[in-house]
Every structure is written in C-alpha cells, then in structure tokens.
C-alpha cells in the first residue's frame, strides 16, 4: 500500500493526528421513525473552512450539493421518505454526506409537537460494537433504534433487550446490510425499552437510538415526543461527565447512565449510587437547582432527557441529549437552532468550561454570563438563552456545549460536539481473538501500520487515536500475556 505513494500528497493513507472529533468528510446517517405526520427532515452543516459537498440518498435517487461558509449554517432539506417507517425492516434510505473539508452535521426530525435532533458522527468514528440507549415507548409509539450500513455485506448481530417485532428479548439474530441500507427495530409494547440492546457488526455501522413518541419520565406525564441521538460505539465512551440543568425547567431533568462493562460503579455528585452490569442503565432525576457531576468506574454513556411538559408545567416536552465525556470536549463549536417555522422555539445553549476560563469563553464574540460551579470538578456551567440561528462558541481550553429548545409540547436537543477518540481502549491488542496477546497480534499491528482504524473499537488501535501505528505495536508488545510475547 505504502509503495503506491510517489509523493506524500498522492498517498491515499491517513495522516498523523487523524480526525478524532465529530467533524468529518464522510457521514452515514439516517432518520428513525417519528410520530405520525409528514416530518420536516433537515441536515444542518457547518465547518471551520469554506467547503462544498453532497448530500445523497441513493435509494431515493436524491442528491443535492451544498456549500459551507465558516461561521454559518447550511440547511439541507431531505425528502420525508428518508425517514424509516416500521419495524424489522431493511430499507434503502440511508443518507450519505461527503465534503471536501471537514464539516459538522446535525440532523433534525421535526413534526409539530414531536421533534428532536442529533449530532452526526463521521465514518471514522463509527464502530462495530454498540449498546442501544434510547427510551421506553410512550403514548404515541414504541422504543426503537435504527442502524445504517457503511459497507456492503455487513453482518449485524442484534440481541434485543425487550420483545420486538419478530424477535423476542435476549435472543440474538442476524441481519445483513449493504452500504446505505437501514434497519429499524421497534419494541412490541409501548411500555418496554430497547435500551441495553447489544449490537455487533463485521464492519462499522451507524446507530440511532430513541423512541417514536415517549413520555418522560413516564406515562404519568404528558405529552409524548420523538427522541433520538446517534449513539457512539462503546469504544469511544467515557467516564467523567458534567451536567447543567435544562434552563427554565423547575423540577429537574431525567438522566440515564448506560454501562459498557459489568461492575461499573456510578457516582453522582460524589456519592456512589449504584453498580451496573454490562448493558444495564441507571435512571435518575437530578435537580434543577445545581449542576452535577457523574463519574463511572468503567466507560459509560450518559444522556440528559427533557421531561414531559406536565412534569413541571413548563413550556417543553421530551428530548434526548447525549452528554460529552470531558475527555472529548472541544475548543470551539458552531451550532444552530431550528428555523422559526413551522414552530418557534425558545433556544438555549448549556456550556461546561474550566472555571479558570469562564471570563474568556465567548458566544458569538460576547462573554458568557452566569457561570456556576459544578461541584468540585474545577469546571463551571452556564445556561445561555440564544436567538434562532447560528451561534459560535469558543474557550481557551476544551469545553462542552449542548443545544436545546422548547416550544409548545415540543423540544429538541443535541450535544454541540463529541470526540471519537477511543477512550475505552485499555483492554485491546488481542487482534486475532485467541484470548491472549502475543507476537502474532503485534505482527499484525506492525504490518498494518499507517492505516485508519476500522472504527473506534479496533483491537489494533491500542492508543485509541483511530490510526494503526508502530506506537500501537509497541503498546501491545508491553501487554503481551507471556514473556517475550511468546505463545502457550
């Protein structure tokens, strides 16, 4: 492979410091089923450099070019038929976004009174091992997830955590996806939850978890709303999370902590609250009167949910928003609110920044007011009301941002950014899967040097930087099961 490179610029290989954030040039995306009614499906694109690209849904013969100007957001409307409908179905409706320079992509699935948005993850951040995080079904529809294939012939093994269409809980089954085919599965009962469903695949896939229309925290509160997020592969989950309450809510927010490994202790505001098994989640309500810290002993996924309107009588409704682990904070974000039509939202951005940075963090060039400490974490959090449109945020050091908004019986929310840096990589190196690390594994890594990792959970990517290098070989040499990397 390397021999084909006459000069550096002609090489097809990746470079050092490969992309490890949600910015990218190649996205495989989808829209899972929302409540009934023709959805307004929009991709929002932004980037730090001027660029052009294409949004395509080949299965629908849809393609459109786009251009991105730094500091602004480009909106691309998609056909309503891009949304998956039904359960246990494979459809040719996957979305392919490509661009010349890295862009950030947000997806909005909007129906009046039932809307949510997600942050798109580029292809290098996709993986082959996932655990679904969504929410139980509600009055308007079931718990669901959607998978998008990125390569032809990808075999996917799914072990649903709840009874679902044609597939009972706990019984693994297999499907095969081609590039840009989607598979959607919904629970058979509106009261059950597909969170905790295990998914593995032979090639990287994209996963979207959520619910068609759920009541949060439960059916005792109305109204229901569509919720969705693109779920990161377990290889990029984190351990340390900092949260800020959703602005205007009066009784706090619902949180879920999903564990990737057995024996994961969950600590909230310094107190151990539970120990989880693999693929188990802990759900709690956290007050709106303070910011909160969530720490887990093993890599986990954390989401913040907006409760249904009647939970506190505030203009709002359910949405789902992933919380970035602090390891994946970034130093700038360009984010956007939905347009003011067909609904007008009151929009907010929550920011989590180092306490030493709060005087220098900016939103649209202006200081961010009203930071409050987040426990003893050394970070502060702020809630910023913002107008409809694009907003640019920056801090000297990496920080977190979360965008959300409320309308009558409606809401949306998504993280401003997520890193894909493989945090959950400490147990890698057994490349051939024989239960030990030896010279055969190290040899493979060395031979594969200077190639991209096959997703965020590649056994060869020992340092989790999404590249296979001699450094990974050296790390794995240090992890050999027996002396001198021998086999036994």
Partner 1 sequence: MYKLLFCLMAGGALTASASTITFQPTSQTVNLGATATVDVNLSGLSAGQALGAFDLLVDSNSSIIDPTSVTFFNYLGNPTLELTGSNLTSSSVEAAETSFETTATLLGLQGTQPFSLFAITYNAIGVGTSTLTLGSFPEILADGSGNKLALPTVTAGSITVVNGSPSTVPEPSTLVLMMSGLGVLGSAVRRRHLAQR
Q: Which is nearer to partner 1, 364 or 430 (CB)?
A: 430
Q: How far is the CB of 380 from partner 1 (least distance, A)?
A: 26
Select 314 or 442, whichever has its Cβ closest to partner 1: 442
Find the shortest distance in angstroms from Cβ 475 to partner 1.
3
**Nearest distance, CB of residue 488 and partner 1, angstroms:** 9
Alpha-carbon distances of 168 from 162, 164, 195, 249, 384, rounded to whole Å: 7, 6, 14, 38, 44
Name which of 317 and 441 has its Cβ closer to partner 1. Answer: 441
Q: How far is the CB of 460 from partner 1 (least distance, A)?
A: 13
Q: Is the Cβ of residue 136 or residue 485 nearer to partner 1 in the bound state? A: 485
- Alpha-carbon torsion 356, 357, 359, 360, what sign? positive
CB of 98 to partner 1, least distance (A): 12
Residue (of 78, 73, 75, 95) closest to 26 by Cα position: 95
Please state the closest distance from residue 352 (CB atom) to partner 1, in A.
Answer: 23
From residue 200, alpha-carbon distances to 49, 120, 219, 373 in Å are: 35, 20, 32, 39
Residue closer to partner 1 (CB basis): 13 or 278: 13
Minimum Å gap between C-beta 450 and partner 1 is 5
User: What's the 3-state SS for 422-443?
Assistant: CCCCCCCCCCCCCCCCCHHHHH
User: Which of 19, 377 has the CB closer to partner 1?
Assistant: 19
Nearer to partner 1, 349 or 476 (CB): 476
Closer Cβ to partner 1, 9 or 365, answer by number: 9
Question: Whole-angstrom Cα distance, residue 55 to residue 487?
Answer: 49
CB 126 within 8 A of CB 206: yes
Q: Which residues of 348-370 are buried (b: 16+ CB within 10 A; e: fewer)?
A: bbbbbbbeebbeebebeeeebee
Least distance between partner 1 and beta carbon 5 (Å): 7
Q: Which is nearer to partner 1, 20 or 306 (CB)?
A: 20
- Taking the complex as a whole, the smallest distance from the CB of residue 469 to partner 1 amounts, in Å, to 5
Nearest to partner 1 of 24, 209 (CB atom): 24
What three-state secondary structure class fits 10?
A: helix
Write out the two tokens for 80.
Answer: 């309503």
What is the closest distance, in whole angstroms, from the C-beta atom of residue 429 to partner 1 in the complex? 10
Residue 377 to residues 131, 241, 326, 384: CA-CA distances in angstroms? 28, 10, 11, 21
* Spatial CA neighbour of 96 closest among 133, 124, 68, 59: 59
CB 212 within 8 A of CB 33: yes
Q: Which is nearer to partner 1, 179 or 443 (CB)?
A: 443
Q: Does an H or E element contain 173, and which? A: strand 173-177
State the minimum distance, in angstroms, from the CB of residue 15 to partner 1.
3
Rounded CA separation 453/474 (Å)? 16
CB 85 within 8 A of CB 414: no
Can you give the binding site for partner 1, defined by CB under 8 A?
2-3, 5-9, 11, 13-18, 100-102, 438-439, 442-443, 446-447, 449-450, 462-463, 469-478, 484-487
Q: How far is the C-alpha of 134 from the C-alpha of 209, rounded, in Å?
A: 5
Gyration radius of the chain over CA positions: 21
As a whole number of angstroms, the distance between CA 346 and CA 369 comes to 18
């Amino acid at each position: 492979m390397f021999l084909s490179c006459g000069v550096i610029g002609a090489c097809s290989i990746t470079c050092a410091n490969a992309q490890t954030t949600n910015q990218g040039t190649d996205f495989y995306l989808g829209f899972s089923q929302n409540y009934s009614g023709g959805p307004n499906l929009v991709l929002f694109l932004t980037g730090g450099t001027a660029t052009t690209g294409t949004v395509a849904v080949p299965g629908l013969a849809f393609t459109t070019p786009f251009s991105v100007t730094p500091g602004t957001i480009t909106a691309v409307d998609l056909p309503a038929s891009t949304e998956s409908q039904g359960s246990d179905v494979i459809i040719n409706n996957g979305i392919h976004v490509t661009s010349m320079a890295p862009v950030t992509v947000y997806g909005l699935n909007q129906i009046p009174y039932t809307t949510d948005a997600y942050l798109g993850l580029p292809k290098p951040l996709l993986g082959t091992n996932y655990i679904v995080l969504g929410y139980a079904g509600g009055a308007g529809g079931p718990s669901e997830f959607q998978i998008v294939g990125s390569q032809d012939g990808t075999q996917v093994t799914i072990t649903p955590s709840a009874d679902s269409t044609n597939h009972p809980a706990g019984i693994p089954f297999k499907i095969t996806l081609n590039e840009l085919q989607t598979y959607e599965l919904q629970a058979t009962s509106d009261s059950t939850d597909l969170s905790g469903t295990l998914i593995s695949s032979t090639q990287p896939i994209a996963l979207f978890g959520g619910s068609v229309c759920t009541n949060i925290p439960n059916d005792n509160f109305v109204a229901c709303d569509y919720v969705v997020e693109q779920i990161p592969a377990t290889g990029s989950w984190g351990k340390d999370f900092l949260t800020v309450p959703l602005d205007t809510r009066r009784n706090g927010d619902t949180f879920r902590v999903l564990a990737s490994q057995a024996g994961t202790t969950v600590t909230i505001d310094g107190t151990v609250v539970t120990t989880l098994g693999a693929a188990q989640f802990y759900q709690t309500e956290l007050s709106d009167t303070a910011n909160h810290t969530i720490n887990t002993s093993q890599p986990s996924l954390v989401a913040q949910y907006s409760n249904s309107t009647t939970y506190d009588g505030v203009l709002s409704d359910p949405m789902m928003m992933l919380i970035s682990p602090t390891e994946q904070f970034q130093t700038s974000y360009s984010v956007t609110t939905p347009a003011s039509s067909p609904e007008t939202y009151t929009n907010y951005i929550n920011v989590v920044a180092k306490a030493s940075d709060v005087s220098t963090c900016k939103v649209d060039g202006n200081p961010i007011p009203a930071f409050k400490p987040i426990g003893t974490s050394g970070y502060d959090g702020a809630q910023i009301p913002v107008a409809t449109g694009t907003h640019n945020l920056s801090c000297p050091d990496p920080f977190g941002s979360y965008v959300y908004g409320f309308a009558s019986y409606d809401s949306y929310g998504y993280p401003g950014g997520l890193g894909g840096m493989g945090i959950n990589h400490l147990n890698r190196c057994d490349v051939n899967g024989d239960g030990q690390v030896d010279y055969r594994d190290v040899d493979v890594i060395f031979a594969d040097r200077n190639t991209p990792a096959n997703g965020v959970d590649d056994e060869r990517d020992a340092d989790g930087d999404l590249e296979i290098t001699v450094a990974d070989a050296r790390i794995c040499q240090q992890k050999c099961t027996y002396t001198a990397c021998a086999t036994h």
